[in-house]
C-alpha cells in the first residue's frame, strides 16, 4: 500500500480500500461487491470479523496492526522461501512451519508467526534429521518433507510448550529478584507506578515502561530479560474490563493464561466485583512479541475504574504474587 493512507475507516474510498477488500476476500472474509472501492458497512463488518478471528481489537478500522495482520494472513507455507534475516519474516506460513516442527519434536519456540532464532535452529535440526541441506531455508524440499511426515505428528502439543511448562515450574516461588516489566501508554501511569511499588515491596525487580506502542514495550522487556510483563490501559466508557494473554491457533502462552485467570479470580474475590474482567487469548503485538509470559489488562469503563484504582491495583499485585508461587496449574 503506497503513501501510507492508514488508518482506513467507514467513508473512505479508492484503491487502498480495494486492496483491503481484496485481502479480506482472499482470507475468507467476503465483502459485498456493491462496496468495491468504498469502505461501507459490509467492509466494516468483514474487517471486524477478521480482527476478532486474529485476536486484535475489533474496531472496524484498518490501522497498521490490522493491515500487517491482513498481509501476514495471505501467506501459506510453500508460497515463499522462509529463512532468518535481520528484519524477521512474519506470516501465517511461519506460524504453520513452527507448529509443524513443534509437533514433530523440534523446538521452534512458541507459534508466533515470527521467524526468529528458535525457528531457524529447529529448521536446521529438522533438515539434518531428514538428510536435507541444513541451510536454514524452508523451501519446496522442506515442505515436501513436512508433508511426508505429517502422519507422524503427535498433535497440537509441541516440545516448546512442554519446555515452557518445565521452565515456569522451575521459577515457582522465586519472587525475590524476579525481573518484571509494568507497561502503560500514559493513561494508566499512576496505577502502573503503584503496581510497580507493590511488587517491589514483595521483592521483585520492576521496570515501568511508558510508551504508546506495544511493540516498543515488547522490545524493551525483551532487552531487559524480564520474566514477566503486565500491561495496563484504561478504556472508554462502555467497554468491559478484560485481561488478554497471547494465543494463536493451537498455541497459547501457558504462563500468560494462568496469570490472566488469577487476576480474574482475585478481582472477583476482592472489593471490585463490578470490574470482574473477561479473560481471552489475543495476538496484540505486545503479547505476541514478548518472549516472557505477558498479560494486557484493559480496564474499564474508566469512570468506574478511577474510584477503585487502589483496590484494583492491589488485586493485580496479589495475583502476580500468587502466580509466582504457582505459575502453571498443578
Segment 277-298, tens digit of pLDDT? 899 999 999 999 999 999 999 9
Residue 82 lies in a domain: no
Residue 33 lies in a domain: yes
Clarify whether residues 129 and 29 are in a common domain: no
Clarify whether residues 38 and 125 are in a common domain: no
Clarify whether residues 160 and 227 are in a common domain: no
Whether the pLDDT of residue 272 is over 80: the answer is: no
Alpha carbon 3 to its chain centroid, in Å, reads 28
Clarify whether residues 268 and 209 are in a common domain: yes
Which one, of 56, 105, 108, 62, lies nearest residue 246 by Cα? 56
CA atoms within 13 A of residue 325's CA, in its CB half-sphere? 8
Q: DSSP 3-state assignment of 3?
A: coil
Which of 148, 166, 184 is the last residue before a domain boundary? Answer: 166
Using CA atoms, how far apart are residues 150 and 322, in angstroms rounded to an integer? 40
The pTM is what?
A: 0.91
Residue 85 lies in a domain: no
Clarify whether residues 208 and 247 are in a common domain: yes
What pLDDT score does 191 carry?
Answer: 96
What is the extent of the structural domain holding 195? 171-325
Residue 305 lies in a domain: yes
Clarify whether residues 198 and 319 are in a common domain: yes
CATH of the domain at 36: 1.10.101.10
Q: DSSP 3-state assignment of 214?
A: helix
Using CA atoms, how far apart are residues 86 and 89, in angstroms rounded to an integer? 9
What pLDDT score does 7 carry?
Answer: 94
Clarify whether residues 104 and 209 are in a common domain: no
Using CA atoms, how far apart are residues 44 and 40, in angstroms rounded to an integer? 6
Clarify whether residues 249 and 278 are in a common domain: yes
Whether the pLDDT of residue 237 is over 70: the answer is: no
Cβ atoms of 58 and 106 closer than 8 Å: no
Mean pLDDT computed over every residue of the chain = 92
Grid cell listed for 318:
496479589
Residue 5 lies in a domain: no
Using CA atoms, how far apart are residues 28 and 239, in angstroms rounded to an integer? 28
Residue 287 lies in a domain: yes
pLDDT tens across 127-144, in order? 999 999 999 999 999 999
Clarify whether residues 57 and 103 are in a common domain: no
Clarify whether residues 274 and 153 are in a common domain: no
Distance (Å) of CA 311 to CA 55, 181, 260, 306: 29, 20, 17, 10
48: phi then psi, degrees, rounded to nearest 5: -65, -40
What pLDDT score does 152 carry?
Answer: 67
Cβ atoms of 178 and 324 closer than 8 Å: yes
| Cβ-based neighbours of 97, under 8 Å, separated by 6 or more | 77, 82, 108, 115, 119, 123, 138, 146
Clarify whether residues 126 and 47 are in a common domain: no
Alpha carbon 14 to its chain centroid, in Å, reads 31
202: phi then psi, degrees, rounded to nearest 5: -90, 0
**Which pLDDT band, with edges at 50, 70 and 90, does 106 fall under?**
very high
Number of folded domains in the chain? Answer: 3
Using CA atoms, how far apart are residues 40 and 47, in angstroms rounded to an integer? 11
- Measured N-to-C along each axis, helices 64-73 and 41-53 cross at an angle, to the nearest 10 degrees, of 70
Which of 113, 136, 166 is the last residue before a domain boundary? Answer: 166
What average pLDDT score do residues 225-244 get?
A: 88
What average pLDDT score do residues 94-100 get?
A: 95
Clarify whether residues 116 and 239 are in a common domain: no
CATH of the domain at 258: 3.40.630.40
Amino acid at each position: 500500500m503506497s503513501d501510507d493512507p492508514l488508518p482506513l475507516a467507514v467513508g473512505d474510498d479508492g484503491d487502498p480500500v480495494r486492496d483491503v477488500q481484496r485481502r479480506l476476500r482472499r482470507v475468507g472474509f467476503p465483502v459485498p461487491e456493491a462496496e468495491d472501492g468504498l469502505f461501507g458497512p459490509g467492509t466494516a463488518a468483514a474487517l471486524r470479523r477478521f480482527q476478532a478471528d486474529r485476536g486484535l481489537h475489533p474496531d472496524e478500522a484498518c490501522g497498521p496492526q490490522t493491515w500487517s495482520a491482513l498481509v501476514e494472513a495471505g501467506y501459506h507455507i510453500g508460497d515463499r522461501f522462509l529463512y532468518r534475516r535481520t528484519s524477521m519474516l512474519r506470516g501465517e506460513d511461519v506460524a504453520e512451519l513452527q507448529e509443524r516442527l513443534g509437533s514433530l519434536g523440534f523446538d521452534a519456540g512458541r507459534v508466533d508467526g515470527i521467524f526468529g532464532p528458535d525457528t531457524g535452529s529447529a529448521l536446521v535440526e529438522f533438515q539434518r534429521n531428514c538428510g536435507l541441506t541444513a541451510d536454514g531455508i524452508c523451501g519446496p524440499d522442506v515442505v515436501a518433507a513436512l508433508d511426508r511426515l505429517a502422519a507422524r505428528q503427535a498433535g497440537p502439543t509441541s516440545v516448546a510448550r512442554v519446555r515452557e511448562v518445565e521452565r515456569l515450574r522451575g521459577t515457582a516461588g522465586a519472587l525475590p529478584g524476579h525481573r518484571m516489566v509494568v507497561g502503560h501508554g500514559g493513561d494508566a501511569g499512576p496505577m502502573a507506578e503503584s503496581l510497580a511499588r507493590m511488587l517491589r515491596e514483595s521483592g521483585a525487580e520492576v521496570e515501568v515502561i511508558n510508551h504508546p506502542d506495544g511493540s516498543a514495550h515488547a522490545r524493551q522487556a525483551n532487552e531487559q530479560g524480564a520474566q514477566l510483563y503486565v500491561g495496563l490501559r484504561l478504556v472508554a466508557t462502555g467497554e468491559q474490563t478484560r485481561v488478554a494473554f497471547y494465543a494463536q491457533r493451537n498455541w497459547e502462552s501457558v504462563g500468560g493464561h494462568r496469570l490472566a485467570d488469577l487476576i480474574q479470580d482475585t478481582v472477583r474475590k476482592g472489593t471490585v466485583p463490578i470490574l470482574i474482567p473477561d479473560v481471552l487469548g489475543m495476538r496484540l503485538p505486545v503479547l505476541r512479541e514478548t518472549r516472557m509470559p505477558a498479560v494486557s489488562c484493559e480496564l474499564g469503563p474508566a469512570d468506574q475504574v478511577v474510584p477503585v484504582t487502589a483496590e484494583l491495583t492491589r488485586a493485580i499485585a496479589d495475583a502476580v504474587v500468587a502466580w509466582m508461587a504457582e505459575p502453571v496449574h498443578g
